[in-house]
Amino acid sequence: MTTNNATLQSWVDEVARLTRPDRIHWCDGSAEEYAELVQAMVQSGELLALNAETHPNCYLHRSHPTDVARTEHLTFICTEQREDAGPNNNWIPPAEAHAKIDALFAGCMQGRTLYVVPYCMGPIDSPLARCGVEITDSAYVVANMRIMTRMGKAALARIEREGTFVKGLHSTGDLNPERRFIMHFPEELTIKSIGSGYGGNALLGKKCHALRLGSWQARDEGWLAEHMLIVGIQNPRGETHYVAAAFPSACGKTNLAMLIPPASMPGWKVWTIGDDIAWMHLGEDGRLWAINPEAGAFGVAPGTGPKTNPTALNMLDHDCIFTNVALTADDQPWWEGKSKEVPAFDWRGQPYDAVSGLPAAHPNSRFTVSMRQCASYSPRAEDAQGVPISAIIFGGRRKELAPLVFQARDWRHGVLVGASVASETTAAATGAVGVVRRDPMAMQPFCGYNFGDYWEHWLSFAERSDRLPKIFHVNWFRQDDSGRFLWPGFGENLRVLQWILERCAGRAEAVETPIGLLPRSQDLNTQHLDVDVATLDALLAVDAQRWNAELEDIRSYFEKFDERLPTGLWSEFERVQNALEHGTQVAVAVD
């Protein structure tokens, strides 16, 4: 398979001259091709076939111990002007970046196969979708891209019709961290990544295209590319409303996307559209319509268990690629939170010593699986137009301060709420764990340009429509002084979502506070829930002193963006700060 697109063919030839592979393979995305790739990797030892009786067509990949997470300090946005990348990104001038990384690409594919991977982010026939081509020397990357995107002949045909695509060049190189870079050239719609085989660094359709370059494309074209799940929530009346929600990695996004209603809430149903990324366009009706640009889930394994996320767990018993999980004695995948069984081998393949106290699976071990294997997969997931969004939810992992849920007063206040998100860091990225950092809209590692311009783009939607989604903030992780979680979480989070959707429909009450609109304890559905009124009051408390300190921290963060910070955001910040300083009259508000 080759192409009649001269630009694509010329680029493939150019890359081949630079990298000098032994052979070139154009991927067609077929089941036969996938089977051949997997078999070759099993024979080479790059993949380990798992127990065929319990996990048919499932395989384990073990990464190099230095290559197990996104390397944010080695990830760059390469724009002509440094200010366009912003203080939220690492920056190198494009000419310097190309020279540095191309020197590492020179001859790097000798003895290897160069794979040409055409792919489509989003339903193949959707006008909201965008295409790309990844060139890689990793069969593991090809196999994962087939699961995660619409990859192969149909994508190439669309590229040939439209004539445009994102260019992504990847090589595992020698996996030396000193020669590892992930570089983005948004003005050229180009990505170059070398020295890593980890998904977030190597599956270029995912974070690199769908978010970093996608956010740049979205700003230029008037839409939003966001680090958000998309879920449909059907109430007992048969009404389905769609929600987009942004949480930092490992803060419960996948769990919420696949939430199972508790037995105490009969008649409710949850439909999964996507668990990680949302592309949202303004429709002719003034509403935001969203598609999931991905076709699969690249989820964190530890913590995925029969209590936390049985839907996700049930997806993983066939046709799945696992990365850096542990193994039982009979070759079944294992990770902390999956079962009480003690594994035989850790994620490095060494005999596991339970006495050591070390985790058997890597904390950022992963599974790659088709979304079609999800029991709650929505029949509207492939709709070309997408689904209409009723509410946007922001959230993070905060032990204190943020209440269980509150609503922004309007779109501009909602942008401030999203821009102010902070969360404790997790194992999904290299660096310290448990440190509270600002993560606006959960896009800190993924926004492809200056956050000040990004927030201005968000604010602009209020000038384009009066039918935008209502915006909320949640915090499932509030704790008491002893470290006990105050909210049961998991399926019970549907109770909070019920209040959110009732607010969207104008059927629920809320109390006005300086930070936004909160439910009273009696406004939440707590029937059959073992949470007392005192605990609910603590979950919904707003401590003005703590919030004033939080605002000072937000102010310090915002000041990094100088004149790029929108005046509309500053004025909203000052309005909230003034309300906290002087107090507001408490009133019941019903839309």
Output the furthest CA–CA distance in the chain (Å, rounded): 73
3-class DSSP state of 228: coil
- Residue 70 labeled ligand binder: yes
* 8-state DSSP, 351: B
In angstroms, the CA 529 to CA 585 distance is: 31
- Residue 3 labeled ligand binder: no
- Residue 227 labeled ligand binder: yes
Which DSSP helix (H) or strand (E) runs through 299?
strand 296-300
* Contact predicate 231/270, CB 8 Å: yes
- Residue 64 labeled ligand binder: no
Phi, psi of 386 (to 5 degrees): 90, -165
Number of Cβ within 10 Å of residue 28's Cβ equals: 15
* Contact predicate 498/525, CB 8 Å: yes
- For residues 569, 575, 579 and 584, what is the CA-based torsion angle, rounded to 10 degrees? -110
Angle at CA 516, nearest 5°, toward 534 and 291?
A: 110
Any idea which residue has 């699976």 for tokens?
A: 361
- Residue 254 labeled ligand binder: yes
3-class DSSP state of 457: helix
- Residue 51 labeled ligand binder: no
- Residue 366 labeled ligand binder: yes
Report the DSSP pairing between strands 296-300 and 23-26.
unpaired
- Residue 207 labeled ligand binder: yes
Q: Which of 273, 164, 277, 174 is nearest to 228 (CA)?
A: 277
- Residue 99 labeled ligand binder: no
List C-alpha distances in Å: 12 to 15, 94, 181: 5, 20, 21
- Residue 255 labeled ligand binder: yes
- Residue 399 labeled ligand binder: no
List C-alpha distances in Å: 424 to 298, 330, 351, 477, 482: 21, 36, 32, 10, 18
Query: Strand pairing partners for 133?
Result: 118, 167
251 is an active site residue: yes
Which of 27, 208, 251, 447 is an active site residue?
251
- Residue 63 labeled ligand binder: no
Q: Which of 110, 116, 96 is nearest to 33 (CA)?
A: 116
* Contact predicate 494/262, CB 8 Å: yes
- Residue 450 labeled ligand binder: no
- Residue 324 labeled ligand binder: no
* 8-state DSSP, 485: B
- Spell out the residues 6+ positions from residue 323 whose beta carbon is closer than 8 angstroms to its own: 60, 61, 62, 63, 199, 365, 366, 367, 368
- Residue 490 labeled ligand binder: yes
For helices 451-464 and 411-419, give the axis angle rounded to 10 degrees. 160
In angstroms, the CA 243 to CA 257 distance is: 10
Q: Which of 425, 419, 423 is nearest to 447 (CA)?
A: 419
- Spell out the residues 6+ positions from residue 151 whose beta carbon is closer than 8 angstroms to its own: 27, 29, 117, 118, 119, 120, 145
- Residue 251 labeled ligand binder: yes
- Residue 235 labeled ligand binder: no
List C-alpha distances in Å: 217 to 135, 151, 398, 457, 485: 21, 21, 32, 12, 40
- Residue 198 labeled ligand binder: yes
How buried is 81 (Cβ within 10 angstroms: 0-12 exposed, 13-18 middle, 19+ buried)? exposed
In angstroms, the CA 144 to CA 205 distance is: 10
Tokens of 466: 């009066």
Residue ranges at the known binding site: 70, 198-200, 207, 227, 249-255, 276, 364-366, 397, 490-493
Residues with catalytic roles: 251
Residue ranges at the known binding site for Mn(2+): 207, 227, 276
Residue ranges at the known binding site for GTP: 250-255, 366, 397, 490-493
